Structures are given as structure tokens and as C-alpha cells.
Structure 1
Amino acid sequence: MFKLLKHFSGKKRLTLLLVVLQTQFTSAQQKPVPLANPKAIVQSGQARFTVLTPRLIRMEWTAQLPFIDNATFTVLNRNLPVPYFVSQINNGELVLKTAELELHYKVGSGKFTDQNLTITSLNKKYPFAWVPGTKQKGNLKGTYRTLDNFDGDYHIWDKKKMELEDGLLATDGWTVIDDSQRLLFDNSEWPWVAERPAKDYQDLYFMGYGRQYKKALQDFVQISGRVPLPPRYAFGYWWSRYWSYSDNEVRNVAENFEQHNLPLDVFVIDMDWHYTDSLRAKYDVFDQTKHWTGWSWNKRLFPNPGKTLSWMKSKELKVTLNLHPASGVAPFEEPYKAMAQTLNFDTTTKANIPYEGSNKRFMQALFGTILHPMEKMGVSFWWLDWQQWPNDKRIKNLNNTWWLNYVFFTDMERNGSTRPLLYHRWGGLGNHRYQLGFSGDAVISWKSLAFQPYFTSAASNVLYGYWSHDIGGHQFGPGSDQKLDPELYVRWMQYGALSPIFRTHSSKNANLNKEAWNFKGEYYDALKDAIRLRYELAPYIYTMARKTYDSGISLCRPLYYDYPEAAEAYENKSEYMFGDDLLIAPIVEPMKNGESDIKVWLPEGNDWFEWQTGTLLKGGQYVNRTFALDEYPIYVKAGAIVPAYPAVKNLEYQPAKTYIDVFPGADGSTSVYEDAGNSKNYAAEFATTKVISKHLPGRTQSVTIMARKGAYKGMPLSRSYTVRLVGAEMPQSITVNGKKLDYAAEQSAGKWNYNGKSLSVEISLPQAACAKPQEVLIAYSKTDIANVNTGLVKKFRELSKAVTGLKFKDADIILPEMAGRCEETNLRLQYYPGQFYQMLQYFNINYSNVPDAVNKATSKANADWFKEQLKSTGK
């Protein structure tokens, strides 16, 4: 990092140095530091209290000293900055006060009970009183290990509804984390599991936060560790299918993505990459018909795995392979001899080398002899899929899922040259430190789609914010017609593009061909649009992922984080915030008469811009809205500034050109994050660019791109920005850094143009140094004013589609002048900027009369059809 300082001098170098040192110090705190600052500790005999934050107190009682200071599976760090607090003993009671809590404990009274310990809130806005044994009434829930065989929240075989685990937040205003039985980490270089001493011990963490949900999660992050930032490519599109792909087929799929101009970042190869046939299954003690565990490439499918992986790398694709390690290493496996030699295992028995997850020597051998060589060959990361016995056979309370997540992720941290990434199932509290969740085999149904938005956002209550779902569902349920409903798949993909990890997957079923090119017409177009939207939003998503690392607040989170006092934020469980500025109201039911009608709650505090229809709506209300198949309910906070990418191949590299989308309705600002994309040094090596939008007197707007701050290896020194003013009128003039720009009908460097389809001003800034600020001034007419954010974008789109469709019904129709002028309004706005207000006025006056004009030019049946196509645009 310090080599990068040579690019700066004087005050800038000093400022950057201070930022780096501060960031490195903050990052260092994420390594286990289990010993608390002595100044934070108040001990009274066999009871000990550690004040960690004004809202978080550790409370311990032990039957036998000493106290336990190891890191646990839940809590890694206790050496935090000591908050202000006071403590004293009054009449045999220890009284401890922070800024927000007051604790009373009867000195020498033994274990914590409702008779000797109380905690009350000092925050008058959020009062509560707690004693041990008090049961929460309003826990907001967390997550669940898997969606396997769930149709929505109902298990199709067990015939039971899912009961989500309790989370860290509750409307009660407090939560107690009981860490008394959680396993410990030892103090070795690679911390390993250690069992607790056999003694009566209470180890409780009291969190008292009222409705300050974000602060509660930030407190937990400080003691439990951060949510690591995934590499940038993880936020692209993942192709996955349970299918016995061959080398030829893998290449064909990847090449089809290229031919259809669809971006792709990750190619997932399921368990058929290794041998699975029954001839080898005699070595599998768990399943005699299918050999799940495997460590040897299936040479029938991949005759030269190294060449396959090398080709994938040439296409800038990351590859992950599925692992089921439970059966150990069988004698027929290629690495068997090397593994046995490392472990001094007797090969004359011709037995499997048994899996021993808690045995550090076994796991080191597994990585050293099998997995690391495959990683060097080109496997980017691993998909773990533990489906066997729940707990370790040697340490009975050691959850195999939790432990595998820890071991695999930390091995990559220790030995990998790139940023660690792992996806596996949820193992329990503390698993947020090991990133991505694989939610498993959900049933293909509208119920499953309807459940996933709530399931995903609720998981943020335990910081498990990176669920990766089988988009489109995994398997058909009982009674299904075994066909993939294209409308359901489109809506699922639209949701997937606005979920944490965008990965399609399905069971090994010939009817589940989810490649976009297997669909036609409007379904194909909608699927492509969903994938492209994901990549357009990539820099916004990545910026929010950095915020998750810094704060613990997930990309997808419930509305009550931001609106805790509103009852509607708890009632509308499927709606969620996608980062700080986007509210998503998923469509989870089939259309009726070719359109989806939904009811959306828009929170009070700001207006909301319905992005895909071009409508600015007031906050603090319910609205009934209508969407076609190619539209989705994305609501942008008024004034928000959203960084965006143009069309890209994938996220391996940042494009030379970046969009800055400025939304209407208010002033706004943002700070855009960037780093090297896959570097392990992101904690200290990164950069941010602040962007500010202001509306000035005299119908003038300014957009300022501030000088970039920070540095990282490979950082571009200059960049080309296009500022897009979404939902804006036609400007009279635009200047950049004091220089007036010319107008062009189409987008071109160093000029500005008007996009009539999106009613947006597009200002193409010349290539410029990122170290210097740029100011854009936009002047609008002081005499002519038009509200362009009344759903005109949707009207333009629907009218164009209807006119095109009408011509296929009546190829000889002579389109009435009114219909033609209205239908071409979007392009006329671009071509004739001086007539902007006149053309909008003409459209607004005549749009509703277009069906009557068409009625005179064609048959009644065609005219009725045409009118039907436009009916939703007024909603």
C-alpha cells in the first residue's frame, strides 16, 4: 500500500497516510482479540461485567475461577474502545450505568437470575426492563439452514411450516445472546476448535437498542467480526445447473452467452465433474447408488481438466466445483496415495481415509494434497454441500456445516493469493464471517418466489446477507406438470437481479433449460434485460457491499431498519431495501390479463421514483401500480445518485466509462467505492469518489464529481464519466468546468444529448484525471416548465409496442397523423430539442385520443385490441 503513496505529495500524501493507518488499524481489529480492555471490566467475585458499547454488556458468572477469555464461535473481539460508563456498589448492589443502559446486580448472590439481576433502558424513547428468564415477544427472526424441499415456507415431505431461527433484533428493544455453551477457538496460528472447560458457567451478551436496529448490528459486528467483502466478480451472473456437462458442453454454454451478448462471471460445475457411477459406489458408505464424494476429474467428460480450466480463464470466467466431503478419500481416487502418505494411513486395508473435520492434520492434508493443486490448476473457489451427519464425530457439539465454512474460508485467507470466497449452507450465528449462503433445493412455484424476498432480507438480522438462491427454483413439486412456466422464471430472474447473489440453478431434469436463449419473444427480452440490469447496477451493488463490510448492514434488508417507527415497515415483509437508495417490491404472483397489479407501500420521508415507468410518487402512502412483463417495481429515493456501468462482458475489469445516474425530486449525494476487485488488501487499499447534486436558484442544477480519495494497485488515473439526469427536462445549456458543451442527437464524447425513451439528459464528460474535481452546471428554461415524471416513459413504451403490434394485425393500415406523432414523441424530443415543450404538450393533450383516431383507421376488433394495450398506462 505504501508504494502507492509515491503518486501523491505534500498534504495529500499525509492525508492518505492517515487514512491508510486508520484503516489498517480498523482492519487489524477484525483478527481475534478476545481479551477485553481492563478498563471496560467490572468484577464482583465470581461475576464479571464487560462494557463493550453503550448498548452491549457481557455478563459472566463462573462456579470456579478463572473466567474464560478465549474467542468463541460467536465472539472474536472484546478489545473495543471503552465507552463512558460509571459503576459503584450501593447497599450491596453493583450499579453499572452506560449512556443507554443501567444494570443492577446483588453482590455475591451467585448465578444470574430474575432475583439478582436487572437491566433497564435509559433511553426514554425506547423504555424496557429485563431480568434473566424474560421471554422476547417480538423477535424479528433470522434465517434457516436450507430451503431444501420447501414450497415457499412449507416442507413438502415433512408437512411442516418453516420456523426461522431467532435473530439479533426484536421489537422488544433488547436481545440476549447466550454464549455459555458455544465452542471456543484455541490460540494457535490457525485457530482451531477447543471445547469449553467442564464447569458451571454463564456467558451472556445483553444488547439493549430500542429501535436502533442498525446500531445493534454494528455493535454485534464489532465483537463477532465483519462480513467480508466478496470479490467484485461474485456480484455478476452465475451460470449453474445440475447436469453432467462435458468439456464440449461447458464451452458451448459459455460461447452461447457471448453470441447473445449476455455477460457472465461464474461458471458452476456440479458434482458430475468427478466420477459418480455405481461401479465406484462400493466405497461410499452413505449411498450405494450415488457417489456424492469425489476428488478425481471424470475423464470421460473432461479428458484434460487443466485445458478446460485454462480455456475458461481465457474467457475471464471464474469456476467453482461442488464438493461433498463426507465420505473421505476412497482408494480409487487419484490423490489417495498422496493423502495416505501424508497421514501415514495404512493403504493395505484398501479402506476409505475417513473424513475428520475436527482433525487439523486431516484438513491440512486435504487442502495440501487435493484442493490447493486444483486451485492452482484454475478452480477459483469451492461450493460446499454438506448433507450428511450434523455434528462432528469427535467433538459432539461441533456443527459440521459451521465448521466447514470456517475451515475452508480461513484456509483461503491464509494460503490464497486472491480474496476468499465460499458458498455453503447456513451453519449458525457467526457464519456471516464466511460469506455466501447456498439456500438449496427449493420447489419451483410462485409460493417459493414469494417467500424468498422475505427469507433473504430477514437473514440480515443475523448478518447473513449474501444468500445465493437457485433462481427459478430447483425442482418440481408433487402434482406439478413438470414444465417451467416462462412467466414465473422471468419474475424470478427479475428478483434475482436484485438479490445478493445472482445464480440460476436447477435439478437434473431435461425440462429445466433455463438458458435465456431457450425462450422466445418477450420472455427472452425480459430475461436479457434482467441480466443486463444486474451489470448496470454493479458499481452501486459493490459500493453497498463495501458498506456491509464497514457497518454490518446487508445489501438486502427489511424496511424497518430505515423506518423503525412505521408499522407498515413490519407488515410489508416482501418489500426490502436494496442498498441505501433502492426499494424493491417484488412481483410474486402471475399476471392477470397480461399485467401485474400490485400494492406498494412507499415510506414517508422522501418521494420515490418508479424507475421503469418514469413516475415520481409521494412517500408515506400505499399505491396501486401496474406492470407489464418487461417492467419491475424498482423505487429510487428522490435525489439519489446511483453509479452504473455500460454494457460489459463481465466484472473482471472496471470499464473505462462509468455512468452517474442522478434521479429527480431532491438534492442528493453519494460516495462511489472502488478497489482492485479481487485483492485481499481491500481493507486498506481502496478509493472513493463523492458525487453531489444540487438544485440552485434560477432553474439551475449542479452535479459535482469530487476528486477521488484513496489508492489501490492498478487504479486508473483518469476516467470518462457520463452523467445521466434521469427524469429531467430539456436543458437550455450545459457547461463542464466552465466550458459549454454542444448538443448532439446521439451520445458522443464531450457533448450532451437527450434520451427521449428514458426522458434523461446524458452528459458525456471528456476523459479527465480522477484526482481533479469536475463540475457540471445545467440550466433549464425559466419560462417553460414541464413535469416529465408522470409515467410518460411507460406511455411511450406501451404506445410504441401497441402501434407495432397493430401493424401485424393490419399491415395495410395508414396510421393516423395523431397516432404517428404521439408514437414518435420520444425520438422527436431528441431530434428537435428546441421544440421540447411543444411536443410534450401535444403528446399530453392527444395521447388519450389516439385509440379513437385508430378506431377510424382499422377494424373494430383491431381498434379494441389497441385500446386494451394502452389501458394500463394510466395506472
Structure 2
Amino acid sequence: MALPTLPTSPVADPAAVVQGEHYRITVLTDGLLRLEHSPDGVFEDRPSTFALHRRQPVPEFRVVDRGTHLEVVTRRLRLTYDRGPFTTSGLSVAVLGAVTSWHSVWRYGQDEDGRNLGGTARTLDEADGAVPLEPGVAGLNGYAVIDDSTSLLLTDDGWVAPRDDARTDLYVFAYGHDHAEAVRALYAVSGAQPVVPRWALGNWWSRYHRYTADEYRALLTRFRAAGVPFSVAVLDMDWHVTDVDPAIGSGWTGYTWDRELFPDPAAFLADLHARGLRVTLNVHPADGVGPHEEAYASMCAALGLDPSTRDPIAFDVTDEAFLTAYLDVLHRGLEADGVDFWWIDWQQGAHSRVAGIDPLWMLNHFHFLDSARDGRRSLTFSRYAGPGSHRYPVGFSGDAVISWASLAFQPYFTATAANIGYGWWSHDVGGHMFGAKDDELATRWVQLGTFSPVLRLHSSNNPFLTKEPWSFAPEHAAVQTDFLRLRHRLVPYLHTMNHRAAREGVPLVTPMYHRWSRHAEAYRVPGQVAFGSQLLVAPVTAPRDPASVTAAVRAWLPDGTWVDVLTGLVYDGGRELVLHRDLTSVPVLAPAGALVPLDAADVPGDDPVEPAALEVLVVVGADGAFTLVEDDGTGDGLDESRVARTPLAWDQAAGVLTVGPVAGAHGFLPATRTWTATFLSVADGVRPVATVEGGTVEPVVARTADGRMRVTVGDVPVDATLRVGLGEAPALRPNDVAGRVHRVLDAAQVGYELKSRVLDVLTSGRPLHVRLSHLAALDVPQALRAAVEEVVLARVTA
């Protein structure tokens, strides 16, 4: 079998190159330079693990020869170079339109002094809180560098070659504070994120546990009965034979089903598929192939070895023949039985028999490309292996310690990975090992997982470490179930963002400073993230206060009006604030004009296919637009002939939501759909009118206590236009301050008389400053006081 290859365009346009005998400068974009120095005058034009596409449209630039040095100038940067070996004094890049008053000049060899905003890390294995991050392409000083001098090279035949480490090969990003554009430049040179399969966006069930086939089936049946959806079934290492003679292996590596646990693997996998799930198996490949494996003789035949010796076949990722057989023999039969993709659990470091060849990168690269056979959409599941790894999702972040510190680090860790283009992290939701049972911690982790790239429950091999919702107290089980359902309801939005990530170079989860880079506040909320184009999320990562029974999280709301889509509370933006939430909620905020499509089912199915009923959350107050993107699930997802786009538009002045008609291919969609427009916190008194293709229809209208108004229209052809009107310029309703304060106080664990006094003070109708100063004089626990003040001050301009 020939090894699969990636499309590459590694040779830059000569018009973008400034070259001397020992140096070469390539202007890849107006903010990205490739800087090479070669003592022997030989330069590298093969693609590397990082740089696949150096042939970019040539930007405008000038070359100025100052005699003693060269200058290369674009609209974003000025390079100054003395034409000699790279030195701190002889090579610099100044960021134009200075982002700082004194630090916006990069000099070769000079430390960034911690001003890089960080990228990501190879693994969170055994992390209890924060870990050091490798650098990304965004920096507070306006520049960042990727050193590509030692990365692997890709050869024309699909194999790899190590570098000559005598040459220097740097990529200098000088985008100022245009961090999102720096990431897009990274994608342009390194390759885009792929479109992941739609089903990967649902919930993943995983546990390191010695399941039998019947136990696993029974568990899935119970999940379905409880209305807890899962789209991916993960089987950890005990799917294969683990009781192995130590002379031939450790038992961690295996390719032979344990027939005592799974007597009929193909039937078991077929049953999981029939339930709507896809399946991945864990593989630790480091021990190679022992003589006990069912595939041993076939591997020997493929490699020209004598099976009668019974010698183990060593794992050698530097041997092309072994890697070819590894894919074509070891994995192919298991895939024929129904394995959809592989969890590559490589923990043995970055070294191999050939210096510079990282086994993890090799496994990620070749597994991912191999998984695209027969028109399938590629997917693999493995650890991060350096710049360029974004091409091989999904990332397995490793075995984090169960602790509040680990939970608190993960939102930041997930968002910052966008700075190196790594958009599809999957964490062990709930933590992996050690720690102690903490139902609240587990619930908050599920909520974080709901608003993460991938939600995967997982835990270590411990009989007490389980993640089924019913293994927690009823209060927590109910909340976890609600959020696991919400995750599947979010798939229409998530899959649209999946396409956006691949086509526009914007990861699903990004730091706030990617969109508001010139606001200092955006850098002061490291745990708050943009979750796609329509939502901001501030995950709760600290336990509840015992008096207020709420947990607090610091947040920043940019200018404008914002609505919490889970609670309906309306906020004035343009400020930093502390948000308080009870166990049932986390801050998920949408601006005026936001449109968020959801699966309308209260209890979605396991396979998150294109739903026949959709709900659109609408925040009135400003114009909004969103295009729902769906595809037929085949190929790489980028073929427009297989993509359907349904436009959604909100016209604030007219007060009209327009849905459709669908554009592009839509034979894979339901012929008709039921649409529910849910207007969040909309003012009372509006009377919705619905039309389909110009004819008025009678919608079903429902109001809820939190101000939601649901307008449902059934049997709308996908190629028709639906309009739902509320009347001109509808407004958001004023917050029900008295009702919300009452609910906060009712739950608070404080004296009844104090509750009454606080409620009387805050609902007295006296001027706001008088009420707040009176509140300050009462003996109210600080957390409770802050929680009620949040409600009172959420919106004071209405």
C-alpha cells in the first residue's frame, strides 16, 4: 500500500524572495516572514511538518539596500538585516503601528520575556492545575516566532526526512495585536483545520474499565432510557488481550480482541452502530506486535519475517515498511469489523531510532491520512505533537488530576491553543485520576465540556471513579443530564462553526482577545472564551459559596447589550463584572442580534443527524445574520456540491426573522422542517405573525416565565422562505429585578429576617444609589451581597 500524502505547495513564488549567498528572506504575507540562514548556501524547499504551503499570493513589499544592511518593508513590518549570520544586533523585525511603546521590535536570539500569549502543550498527563505552554503566534509585543529549523521534512513519496540542523529556518509573525489574522496566516502556510465529522460534535462516552460486551450494551440502553445522548463510544485498552507473557510485551499494546469479554466483536460493533454511535478503540503501539497476536503471521509475511521464530516485531515508526504494514495489516481487519477511528495513546516521548523523528507526530499524520480511505471523513484521536498538529484532530489532552485547579486551567488551556491553530481539544471531562469525589466539581466540568470543542467523559481504572450522571446526587445528576442533552442540541450551531473553522481559519473556541484585541479587559479574563461567532462563555471553575449557594466568575462584556441564553438576564456591556450562578447554570451570553440554531428536540437522539425540527434563539435589539451550514457527511466537507446553507436573518427595524430558502445541495436534508423561533427576554405585548412563501400561517406561540417567546411553524419546505414578524423594532423586556432577587435570596443559606430586609431594601423603589448604600450597611455575607447586586445592576440603562 502506498503511503497517503497531503497536498502541498512548498516552493514560494520567486517574486516573494530576497536572497543572498547564505540567506533567504521570503515574504509570505504582509505580516509573516520566513528567514533562513545556510552556511553552505543550500536552502530547503521541501514541505515540513509545520510549513506545507509557502507559495502564497505575493504581498506588496519594498526592499531597501542601505549599504550596510537590507530593509524589507510591508504595511505591517520592517525587517533590518546586515546580510551576515543571524545575530541579535544584525537581524530585527519592527512591528509597524507600534502596539507597545518600547517592545515592538523582535531581535534574533532575544527572549520574548514571557510576552508570548502561549500556544498549547503536548499533554496534561498528571497535571494538577496549570502546566507550561509552548509558544503560539500571538504576542503582547506584537510578534511571535516559530523555529522550524529541526522539524521533519515531507518527501514526494509520502515519507519523511530529518533536517540538517546546521541551517536556521524561522517564521516571524509580526501582526501587532491582530492575533486572529496571525492565526489565519499560520493556517495559510501550515494547512487548514479539517472539517471533523458531525457525529464527533456530540457526547463521547469513555471509561477505563474492563467492560464485557453485554455490560457495555446495558449501559448504553440505560443511557437511552435516561435520555442521555452519546454519539461516540470509546473503548479503552481492555478491549484487547492484556494478559501477556512479560517476555513479549507489557499487555498495554494489543490488536487482538479479548474474546472472553467480546465473544463476537463484529456483532458488538454492529449493535453500537445500530444505536447511532461511532466507535474508537484505544491503542498503545509502543510494544510492537507479539507472537500472541492474531495478526502476527500476517505482519511477518508483510515484513518478510519468519513467524516460526516467535520473536516480537518491534515498533519502529522510522521504518516505512513497518508503518505501512502497521496500517494495512494491524488496523485494517479491525476497521472491517466496524472500528470507525483510533485513539492513539502514545506516552513514550518524542524520540525514535532516527534523530528528529517524533513517533507521536508520525502516528498522528499517517493515521489521520489513512482514515480518509474510501471517501470517509478523516478523524483520529491523539496527543498534540507540535506546530502543524491542528491538521490531525481530535486532540487528547491526557490524564489530568481531579481537582478544582485542573478544572480552572482547562478553559484557558483550550482557548490559548487557538494561538497555535489547535482548535479541537478533548479533555477528560471530570478529570482522570487521583483527587476525591466532589459532585459539584464533576457537574461544573460537564458544563465546561458542553462549551468545549469536544465533550468526552472519561476516568481512570477505579471502581469508584464513574461519570454516569446517576452516580452523583440527584441535584447533580439532573444538571449533568440537562447539559449533556444541551450539547447534542447545540450540534447545528457547532457544525456550522466546524465549517467556519476550516474555511475561515477561526477555531470554535478562542480567547477574548482574538476579537477584541485592543481592549485591555480582553486579556484580563483568561478563562472566558468566545464560543463560535454568536456566544461568549465564562465557565464556572470554583465551588459555590455556602451562603449565597452561587459560584462566582470574573467576566468582561464588550460594549452593547447582552442576554444570558440560559437565564434570560439582560446586561449592559462595556464593563468588567463578577457573575454569579447557581448549580444549574453558567454564563452563556449572546449580544443583541445573535442567532443561534439548535436541534429542537428536548431529548436528542444519539446520532446527531440533520434534525427535522430546529430552534433558533433570537436576541432582539440589533440586526443579525447567521448561515446554518450542513453537509452530506462524505469526503472532506469542503466540496460545495455536498453542502447546504440555510440563511437566517433578523431585521430589527422591521422586527422580522427570515429563514431560508436553503442554497446548495440539500437532498440529504428532510424535505420539510419544523422551525421554532425563540425570542429571548423579548418585551411583552408583541403578537407574532408567520408567513411561508407569502402565505400567512398560524404559528404556535408559547411564553415562559423568563421572558422567552417561542413561535413554532411546522412543515416548512427547506427550499421555502419562512418569515416570523413581531412588529416594528421589538425591545428586550426589563429584567424582573424583584423576582430574580427573591429567587437568589430564597436559595441563600442565611437568616429569614435578613432575607426579608434585603428584599425590602432592594425593591423599595427608592433611587438606586440609596438602595445600594442601604444594602452595604446590612450585615449581608459578601458573596450574597454581590449576587443580588449583580441582578440589580445588570441593566440600569433600560
> Could you tell me the TM-score, scaled by structure 2's length?
0.88
Task: Give 2:769's aligned residue.
Answer: none
Task: Give 1:538's aligned residue.
Answer: 491
Mapped partners of 1:845, 1:93: distance in 2? 74
Bigger shift: residues 29-38 or 525-534: 29-38
Matched, 1:243 2:209: yes
Mapped partners of 1:793, 1:321: distance in 2? 50
Bigger shift: residues 259-268 or 85-94: 85-94
Task: Give 2:590's aligned residue.
Answer: 636
Structure 2 counterparts to residues 196-207 of structure 1, below 5 A: 196-197=163-164, 200-207=166-173
User: 1:645, CA displacement in angstroms?
Assistant: 0.6
Task: Give 2:65's aligned residue.
Answer: 89
Secondary structure (helix, strand or coil) at the match of 2:429 reads coil
Matched, 1:708 2:659: no
Task: Give 2:411's aligned residue.
Answer: 453
Task: Give 1:143's aligned residue.
Answer: 120
Matched residue type, 2:125: D
Task: Give 2:780's aligned residue.
Answer: none
Pair 196,767 (structure 1): closer, same or farther in 2 beyond 3 Å: same
Bigger shift: residues 727-736 or 533-542: 727-736
Q: Deviation per CA, 1:705-743, whole angstroms, max 9, x where unpaired?
A: 24333226624454332221111134234132586867x
Matched, 1:671 2:636: no
Pair 101,793 (structure 1): closer, same or farther in 2 beyond 3 Å: farther
Mapped partners of 1:554, 1:786: distance in 2? 31
User: 1:665, CA displacement in angstroms?
Assistant: 3.4
Q: 2:146 aligns with which of 177, 200, 205?
A: 177
Q: Does the CA contact (< 8 Å) of 2:620 and 2:652 recur in 1?
A: no
User: 1:760, CA displacement in angstroms?
Assistant: 1.9
Task: Give 1:833's aligned residue.
Answer: none
Matched, 1:255 2:221: yes
User: 1:80, CA displacement in angstroms?
Assistant: 1.2
Pair 265,792 (structure 1): closer, same or farther in 2 beyond 3 Å: farther
Task: Give 1:690's aligned residue.
Answer: 647
- Paired residues in the alignment total 747
User: 1:316, CA displacement in angstroms?
Assistant: 1.1
Matched, 1:35 2:1: no
Q: Which runs of 5+ in 1 are unaligned?
A: 1-28, 154-161, 743-749, 803-843, 847-866
User: 1:798, CA displacement in angstroms?
Assistant: 7.5
Q: Deviation per CA, 1:601-630, whole angstroms, max 9, x where unpaired?
A: 233222221222211111122333332211
Q: 2:568 aligns with which of 591, 614, 619?
A: 614
Q: Does the CA contact (< 8 Å) of 1:267 and 1:319 recur in 2?
A: yes
Q: Deviation per CA, 1:745-788, whole angstroms, max 9, x where unpaired?
A: xxxxx413122144222222343333343332212799xx8824
Task: Give 1:834's aligned residue.
Answer: none
Secondary structure (helix, strand or coil) at the match of 2:428 reads coil
Secondary structure (helix, strand or coil) at the match of 2:183 reads helix
Matched, 1:227 2:193: yes
Q: Does the CA contact (< 8 Å) of 2:254 and 2:284 recur in 1?
A: yes
Pair 671,786 (structure 1): closer, same or farther in 2 beyond 3 Å: closer
Secondary structure (helix, strand or coil) at the match of 1:753 reads strand
Mapped partners of 2:581, 2:239: distance in 1? 42
Mapped partners of 1:33, 1:255: distance in 2? 49
Matched, 1:658 2:614: yes
Pair 533,378 (structure 1): closer, same or farther in 2 beyond 3 Å: same
Mapped partners of 2:141, 2:336: distance in 1? 51
Matched, 1:444 2:402: yes
Task: Give 1:390's aligned residue.
Answer: 350
Pair 800,775 (structure 1): closer, same or farther in 2 beyond 3 Å: farther
Mapped partners of 1:131, 1:144: distance in 2? 25
Task: Give 2:341's aligned residue.
Answer: 381
Matched residue type, 1:47: Y
Q: Deviation per CA, 1:682-711, whole angstroms, max 9, x where unpaired?
A: 343322222221222xxx511122433322
Mapped partners of 2:712, 2:690: distance in 1? 11
Task: Give 2:545's aligned residue.
Answer: 592
Secondary structure (helix, strand or coil) at the match of 1:130 reads strand
Mapped partners of 1:182, 1:132: distance in 2? 19
Q: Does the CA contact (< 8 Å) of 1:141 and 1:165 recur in 2?
A: yes
Mapped partners of 1:124, 1:781: distance in 2? 42
Task: Give 2:779's aligned residue.
Answer: none
Bigger shift: residues 213-222 or 768-777: 768-777
Q: Does the CA contact (< 8 Å) of 1:733 and 1:780 recur in 2?
A: no
Q: Does the CA contact (< 8 Å) of 1:662 and 1:723 recur in 2?
A: yes
Pair 845,94 (structure 1): closer, same or farther in 2 beyond 3 Å: closer
Pair 173,624 (structure 1): closer, same or farther in 2 beyond 3 Å: closer
Mapped partners of 1:574, 1:462: distance in 2? 17
Matched, 1:193 2:160: yes
Structure 2 counterparts to residues 302-313 of structure 1, below 5 A: 302-313=262-273
Q: Deviation per CA, 1:72-110, whole angstroms, max 9, x where unpaired?
A: 11100011111122324343543322222222333xx43
Task: Give 2:292's aligned residue.
Answer: 332
Matched, 1:104 2:80: yes
Pair 796,420 (structure 1): closer, same or farther in 2 beyond 3 Å: farther
Secondary structure (helix, strand or coil) at the match of 1:409 reads helix
Secondary structure (helix, strand or coil) at the match of 1:765 reads strand
Task: Give 1:412's aligned residue.
Answer: 371
User: 1:328, CA displacement in angstroms?
Assistant: 0.7
Bigger-Rg structure (1/2): 1
Task: Give 1:762's aligned residue.
Answer: 710
> Could you tell me the TM-score, scaled by structure 1's length?
0.81
Q: Does the CA contact (< 8 Å) of 1:169 and 1:461 recur in 2?
A: yes
Q: Which runs of 5+ in 2 are unaligned?
A: 749-762, 766-783, 793-798
Q: Does the CA contact (< 8 Å) of 1:732 and 1:781 recur in 2?
A: no
User: 1:638, CA displacement in angstroms?
Assistant: 2.2
Matched residue type, 1:503: R
User: 1:125, CA displacement in angstroms?
Assistant: 5.7
Mapped partners of 1:383, 1:85: distance in 2? 46
Q: Does the CA contact (< 8 Å) of 1:602 and 1:623 recur in 2?
A: yes
Bigger shift: residues 84-93 or 555-564: 84-93
Mapped partners of 1:703, 1:793: distance in 2? 30
Structure 2 counterparts to residues 763-842 of structure 1, below 5 A: 763-779=711-727, 787-790=733-736
Pair 205,112 (structure 1): closer, same or farther in 2 beyond 3 Å: same
Mapped partners of 2:668, 2:564: distance in 1? 37
Pair 794,632 (structure 1): closer, same or farther in 2 beyond 3 Å: farther
User: 1:44, CA displacement in angstroms?
Assistant: 2.5
Pair 790,537 (structure 1): closer, same or farther in 2 beyond 3 Å: farther
User: 1:521, CA displacement in angstroms?
Assistant: 2.5
Task: Give 2:134's aligned residue.
Answer: 165
Mapped partners of 1:260, 1:788: distance in 2? 37
Q: Does the CA contact (< 8 Å) of 2:195 and 2:498 recur in 1?
A: yes
Matched residue type, 1:168: V
Task: Give 1:366's aligned residue.
Answer: 326
Q: Does the CA contact (< 8 Å) of 1:446 and 1:589 recur in 2?
A: yes
Pair 60,513 (structure 1): closer, same or farther in 2 beyond 3 Å: closer
Q: Deviation per CA, 1:786-811, whole angstroms, max 9, x where unpaired?
A: 82444688579889999xxxxxxxxx
Mapped partners of 1:331, 1:549: distance in 2? 43
Mapped partners of 1:259, 1:438: distance in 2? 29
Task: Give 2:90's aligned residue.
Answer: 116
Superposition RMSD in Å: 2.7
Q: 1:623 aligns with which of 556, 569, 577?
A: 577
Task: Give 1:524's aligned residue.
Answer: 477
